[in-house]
Amino acid sequence: MSDELRIERRPELRRPALVCAFRGWNDGGQGASLAGTYLARAWDADRFADIDPEQFFDFQANRPHISFVEETSRRIDWPENSFFSAQLPRASRDVVVMLGTEPSLRWGTFCRLVTGLARELEVDLVVTLGSLLADVPHTRPAPVTGNATDPELVARLGLQPSRYEGPTGIVGVLHDACREAALPSISLWAAVPHYVSMTPSPRAAKALCDRLADLLEVPLDTSELEEASESYMQQVSEAVAADAETAAYVDELEQRVDELMDENDLPSGESLAAELTRFLREREQDEDGGPRGG
């Protein structure tokens, strides 16, 4: 395997699933990265490998950070993409968690490194976590939708086949690489209120973690995220209450969601995909210096 994949040890795992979460374009409100970090900590996962960032990042766009180790010693922390393994004795499978940052360069090679390691570890399912900005209220549980490229997997798990067309991030490219490598893959997306996009969303993280645990049939205690979600809701509610226009808008979103729940008709994968399209287009305009929509 390429020297760009640095393996410290090879863990012994049973039917492992690979769960991936990336900071960057696929991480609205930091829902996905917060979920991934929580999973690695909750499962007491140990780091065993990483991808050398040298050939995959534009360090002017993703600059390394300098931090103090001691009073007179400093350390440079580079953008990371690391792999952590966890054995789950109370479940029928183990897990590998990949945490990192969306790379700047050579996405095809990067994804082949990921799928190559997955094949070597005999991973039988790849799950990516994403979060997107959408017209949802902060006072309701974050809706989660999933899709898969394998029609049999879509039917078996009751997921939505992806019909999204438009710009994509590393998550979309990784799923295509999984398809080429004959690795079953699923993408889970949590919706984050677009009016608090700069605030980390434990509510989205909890929704992703709960859906993932159900999907993999593995034990996971998310009570800490539940407590953080309650605090998040209270803080955002206080900020929203200070602006009458925003408060009225949130009331409208709440009524819309409640009506959908009464009809037992939760937002579909296609509706969230439409929201993602809008978000990506606005982000593209913002990066080009153009106007950004509300």
Identify whether 292 is part of a domain. Answer: no
Residue for token pair 């640095």: 6
Q: What is the DSSP string of 181-239?
A: TT--EEEEEEEEEGGGTTS--HHHHHHHHHHHHHHHT-----HHHHHHHHHHHHHHHHH
Q: What pLDDT does residue 174 have?
A: 95
* Domain range enclosing 139: 5-287
Q: Is residue 17 part of a domain?
A: yes
pLDDT of residue 288: 52
Task: Tell me whether residue 294 is in a domain.
Answer: no
pLDDT, one tens digit per residue, over 71-129 is 778 888 889 999 999 999 999 999 999 999 999 999 999 999 999 999 999 999 999 99
Residue 293 lies in a domain: no
Residue 7 near residue 49 (C-beta atoms within 8 A):
yes
CA geometry: angle at 129 spanning 123 and 135, to 5°?
Answer: 160
**CA distances (Å), origin 249, targets 58, 135, 211, 252, 266:** 39, 10, 28, 5, 20
Any domain includes 107: yes
Q: In angstroms, rounded to a whole number, what is the distance separating the alpha carbons of residues 177 and 128?
A: 13
Check which CATH number belongs to the domain holding 104 and give it.
3.40.50.10900
Residue 198: Cβ within 10 Å count: 7
The structure's pTM equals 0.83
Per the structure, how many domains does the chain have? 1
- Per-residue pLDDT, 262: 57
Task: List per-block mean pLDDT (blocks of 10 residues) for the chain, which spans 294 residues.
Answer: 88 96 92 96 96 92 85 84 95 96 95 97 95 86 82 70 76 93 92 86 94 91 93 87 85 80 50 46 50 36
